[in-house]
Chains A and B, each alone.
Chain A
């Protein structure tokens, strides 16, 4: 039996799945990434630090805020720019907004159709109108966080080196806070919905990697940790992550201690289970998630737990900002170059950027490691472990299970192919 899904649907970007199994033996199992690389270094080389984040954000529409935030942090470290506590809080708020919009899009638009037997959310507008209305309300609220803080949900415009070029008003933040609080019933209904879904039983333990939980649930810590005991400074990621090429993919694969590792919601949950917000911890318990969960399909539920966590944390960040009082701090960027690296937990996992700037403040060298590229080898390993147990299923059901597994990782193919190592001499 040979299964080829030429263009996987309900994921971000273009990938093909090829499974070849004859006489109960798995011959081939490849997740082929055939999206064209865009050679982003062509855009970055020689560009001034003011332009780097706006250009790099264009790697990915879904995680443009994460790329922007980590890019700014790497540039600020390279150039020795200090940022204020208010900027730190606003950036966290923006990061929560992006994780929320990305996770909610994945959960409701990409994953829910698998469980309700439809090909997209669109037919549910008639048959399950309350579900679609709730999905739209939650997604809009997430996008409104990004809009208010970043100026626009896709490719933000206000974040800049040193801070923000424009700030939300206190009144807008208060109104946003009010809406976040009133979203709780929608969150409860979402949890109730996902609690009814049956997930395929499949366990494969792997190495789980995320930023550390030293300053709360993994988001912006400067340490990188793995379930196999790796402890590193996140900015020194090149010393612990090895990237390599495979013939069938235009995205690079990555390994750490083992041949494959996983980043993303489940990995973060393992690192930061004790740091989840109170409401998120209750939801995790209700959904049967624990720090030792190893079923990759349950990345979906971990994503939902993170949705609840981000809603609660967003409210706290708004309080922090308002209590301190909003002000526009002066931004000072010292002359000269330097090098620096930073990491962030993007919706799909740990994202690294590293830059070297010349004396004019222009890019001489850039490197990025993308969450989905780190997950690709692990997804293939999951598929290889999963397929032999499913030989008895019909072709359709087997295909559905495999697609669901890939989808559980919420791969972002645009990201994984659109920025690759750059060593400009």
Chain B
């Protein structure tokens, strides 16, 4: 939580290994952009800005940490920021990057670089909280722009931001969308954190779980749904392996 300040709150955007789609989602808030600039001072944002800053109130950090150099840079950001927010799945749970956990890195390098040494030493991608203390998180791949504004607003008012504690399934039902299971698709909606308005289901797709698992998923009923549709544990694990590498994402 931020203490009240006399100057405009200074915020910055930082990126590590990822696609920069979450920062782009912030830049895509065209309707709110000018108001945002009235309320805060953007003091660092390498993708669209030259120069850096010494101190800042809130650092929004996108991407996973893959090298000792990245870890060092993240620690420096942590040291100069009062509040640090993980921006998006790669920063929050290591997202799709975490799939490297299943493969031997040396073998991967050989496949890709044809036996030659890769130029950069890379570790297994890790979420930010494997390296530093993360104060708040914005889940999703990419983040939801409205949720970004809600978290920023809460921080500016000195209130802890709250993420929904219920599942995507609830939002899907409220929108009266047809159940993906009825279309014979495996859906992670029953155990995935809400906040996206079941966007993928509304688009005729299924939930791939990009926002991470809710705090207390009711796995019993979920297993029953899976069994009713003839799905195995392996089917569901395969689904989880897109954005939620089991036992790794979101935890140290």
Contact = CB atoms under 8 A, between A and B. Distances in A.
Please say whether chains A and B are actual partners in one complex: yes
Interface of A: 7, 9-14, 34-39, 41-43, 51, 54-55, 58-62, 64, 101, 105, 109-110, 113, 119-122, 125, 132-133, 136-137, 139-140, 143, 151-155, 157-158, 160, 164-166, 245-250, 414, 418, 420-424
Nearest to B104: A42
A424 B111 CA distance: 7
Contacts of B222: none
Contact of A43 (B23, B31, B99, B120): B99
A12 B18 CA distance: 11
Contacts of A245: 113-114, 116, 119
A13 B30 contact: no
Given A39-B100, A157-B199, A165 B205 contact: yes
A302 B141 CA distance: 32
A138 to B, nearest CB: 9
A41 B51 contact: no
Interface stretch (B39-47, B131-139, B159-167): B39-47
Instruction: Report which residue of B33, B102, B122, B141 has the largest number of chain A beta carbons within 10 angstroms of its beta carbon.
Output: B33
B20 A13 contact: yes
B48 A422 contact: no
A420 B112 contact: yes
A249 B116 CA distance: 13
A422 B113 CA distance: 9
* B: contact size bracket: 35 or more
Given A61-B19, A158-B205, 17 more contacts: A12-B20, A36-B67, A37-B122, A38-B97, A38-B100, A42-B99, A51-B242, A58-B95, A58-B96, A120-B42, A120-B45, A120-B48, A125-B37, A133-B34, A154-B28, A245-B113, A414-B20
A152 B111 contact: no
A36 B120 contact: yes
Interface of B: 15, 17-25, 27-28, 30-31, 33-34, 37, 42, 45-51, 66-67, 69-70, 95-97, 99-100, 102-103, 105, 108-109, 111-114, 116, 118-120, 122, 125, 141-142, 199-200, 202-205, 208, 242
B49 A119 contact: yes
B104 to A, nearest CB: 10
B142 A61 contact: yes
A422 B112 contact: yes
Task: Give 6 nearest A-B pairs by CB, closest first.
Answer: A61-B21, A165-B204, A120-B49, A36-B66, A140-B30, A151-B203
A424 B107 CA distance: 11
B106 to A, nearest CB: 11
B41 to A, nearest CB: 9
B34 A125 contact: yes
B111 A423 contact: yes
A14 B20 CA distance: 11
A157 B199 CA distance: 8
A155 B141 contact: yes
Contacts of B203: 151-152, 157-158, 165-166
A125 B37 CA distance: 8
B49 A43 contact: no
18 contacts: A10-B50, A11-B47, A34-B119, A36-B17, A36-B67, A42-B100, A43-B242, A54-B205, A58-B21, A101-B28, A139-B30, A151-B200, A151-B202, A153-B28, A157-B205, A164-B204, A420-B112, A420-B113
Nearest to B37: A125
A316 B108 CA distance: 45
B87 to A, nearest CB: 12
A7 B120 CA distance: 16
Contacts of B48: 10, 105, 109-110, 120-121
Contact of A249 (B47, B112, B119, B142): B119
